[in-house]
A and B are shown apart, each in its own frame.
Chain A
Amino acid sequence: MAHRLLGSTAIALTTLITLCAQTSTPWTPSRLPDGHPDLQGYWTNSTETPLERPKGLGAQEFYTDAELAALIKKDQDRVTLNKDEGRPTEPGTTADVHYDYTQYGLDRGQAKLSWNRRTSLIVGEQGTLPPMLPEARKRNAEIAAKNRGRGLDGPEDLSLSSRCIVVAQESVPLLSGGYNNNIQIVQGDGVVAIMSEMNHSVRIVPMDGRPHLPAEVRQFRGDSIGHWEGDTLVVDSTNFSARNPFQGSGDKLHVVERFTRADADTILYRFTVEDPETWDRPWTAETAWSKVDGPIFEYACHEGNYSLRNTLQGARVAEKEAAEKKAGK
């Protein structure tokens, strides 16, 4: 697997350098009968690049070739070491519980473009989220305080993701998580469908110029409408529910996603986020999706969600043990 990772890295480097420098000779996408580029197929948005720029890099938006090679080597050494040892983490530590870190790396490493020269997905000199507005900080602190007071009395005390209702990876914009970072795009007559493997949800994006849903309609993944700007698919999403925030956003969240075929194996995915009640300015991030083999597997999250029962059962046992301890038993 280590070998495979290295092999894919080489492709990633070549492609991304081309993307970043924007000096490539234009690649001509294959087109559908309606004349628009064909974005269809299976993709992964797995990436090793963090959303925000790591501290200490300042305004450096791209790694140099040497820096990137060193980072990849460091990661490679770690993977090789872990593979040989068969036990990558310290027993008893949270990190050991229980995802094998090398396997996470493996999962991401399967994407051809999991490495690229970007130091952060967020573009520009800043490379980080804009400072949160004071009222947004207050709002989020209140939400956090409310959540802290929550126990494990019943299933509704658990998060939306634990309850399989909505998860981050299927939300808007589309960012990768630990696993199942696979997306299928299907273009139909007047609609584009974007399916996320994680939680198996399909976003149907109308392309017929209709307006957004009435403002009072709020959805966990918002309301998306799309149009073409040249060869770029532009998807505009509003009508979000603050119950499924993105990076601390509120219900004024507005996301514009731009999908552009960069070459036969790549979609350049760029999105701009604004929320006047959360940040004082919009911010933009960019990542590359790479082609993967299908199919997308079903993820019927509710099917065997024993974890809720186990969690609540564990909480009851903990309460009982605490009560017994208090009673001096």
Chain B
Amino acid sequence: MNITPRIRLAAESAIDTLMREIKGVKAVVISTEDGLELAARVENTAQVARLSAIASSLAALGAVAGEESQLGLCDNVAIEATHGHILMLQARHPEMTLIVSVVTSRDAIIGQVLYFAKQATQLLQHA
């Protein structure tokens, strides 16, 4: 992987912010669009071993769904599960597209998660 230091720093900074600001956050993973992990912070390591790859597949399928429905580019994919949520957002930096995945417990407030996650994504895109 050829990731410039600037992007790498921005990714770490984004993770710091999200882990700090989001109530109920369990993990934040930033990965390449082809499924390789770039940076991550987690409460339980085993949890996110494959999240990067899964996120990349979901993002790609989300893109297909968006195109097929003629809705344009897919910005994020949201999963609601019994014990929590996963939000996967596209961060389209000119050098490369990254995927930001945020895993939260059930008591997280979706609106808040979305707000901070989008903000972090914006910053990443302009790194």
Tell me if chain B binds chain A.
no
Interface residues, chain A, with chain B CB atoms under 8 Å away? none
